[in-house]
């Protein structure tokens, strides 16, 4: 199964995938100059930058992402720290599956605005005793697609968003590699899904 990875920033999940022996056919970033692009270059993975400002609107950019994935014969796209909602033109144009890694136990602490430190702050504000990681299928509704895998992470009394994020990130890397290995192992028999259907 050929993998495409969408990124926006640091790229530690991409790095974990590559370190874990997961082959990546193409990396697509919506931002130039981000560390994730350095990670791709260091591993000789072809990368593309498709910025919103280079297109008439976000829908046109997302159609271009779909075209790039299709041209690279990608069967599974992974959102690894990708910070944009994918518009319907993406799902119309890309026939493979798309999955996302989210740093909480969805459906808790997902949806609009729930990214990065905001997620961990929400967990602490809610007084949750545990948080975790969710890997889910991406649909046009943010953080709401079918859940494929979850891992639990305890919340400590002394935690702040940064310490919690660091503990969760270790599990993100582990669970993402594990899930991708099992998805590619079952590739031939797995049904092709589109837009969460």
Residues annotated catalytic, as ranges: 102
Q: Where does 43-137 have alpha helices with state H?
A: 58-71, 88-93, 117-126
Question: Is 171 among the residues that bind ligand GRF (CB under 6 A)?
Answer: no
* Alpha-carbon gap, residue 197 to 185, rounded angstroms: 22
Q: Does 102 bind ligand GRF (CB under 6 A)?
A: yes
> Which of the stretches 38-46, 97-105, 144-152, 185-193 binds ligand GRF when contact is defined by CB under 6 A?
97-105
Query: Is residue 12 a contact point for ligand GRF (CB under 6 A)?
Result: yes
80 binds ligand GRF (CB under 6 A): yes
Report the C-alpha gap between 94 and 152 in whole angstroms. 31
Q: For 135-172, b where at least 16 C-beta lie within 10 A, e where not — what string? A: bbbbbeebbbbeebbbbebebeeebebeebbebbbebb
Q: In the bound complex, what is the minimum distance in angstroms from residue 189's beta carbon to ligand GRF?
A: 28
Q: Is 145 in the site for ligand GRF (CB under 6 A)?
A: no
The contact set with ligand GRF (CB under 6 A) reads: 9-13, 36, 80-81, 101-103, 116, 169, 172
């Amino acid at each position: 199964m050929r993998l495409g990875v969408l990124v926006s920033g640091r790229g530690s999940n991409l790095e974990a995938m590559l370190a874990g022996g997961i082959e990546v056919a193409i990396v697509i970033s919506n931002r130039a100059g981000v560390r994730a692009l350095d990670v791709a270059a260091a591993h000789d993975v072809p990368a593309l930058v498709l910025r919103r400002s280079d297109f008439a609107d976000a829908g046109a950019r997302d159609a271009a992402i779909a075209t790039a994935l299709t041209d690279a014969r990608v069967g599974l796209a992974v959102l690894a720290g990708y910070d944009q909602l994918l518009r319907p033109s993406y799902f119309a144009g890309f026939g493979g599956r798309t999955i996302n890694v989210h740093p909480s136990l969805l459906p808790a602490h997902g949806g609009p605005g729930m990214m990065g430190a905001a997620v961990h702050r929400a967990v602490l504000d809610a007084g949750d005793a545990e948080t975790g990681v969710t890997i889910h299928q991406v649909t046009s509704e943010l953080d709401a697609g079918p859940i494929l895998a979850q891992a639990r992470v305890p919340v400590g009394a002394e935690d702040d968003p940064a310490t919690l994020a660091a503990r969760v990130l270790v599990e993100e890397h582990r669970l993402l590699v594990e899930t991708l290995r099992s998805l590619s192992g079952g590739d031939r028999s797995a049904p092709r899904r589109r837009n969460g259907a």
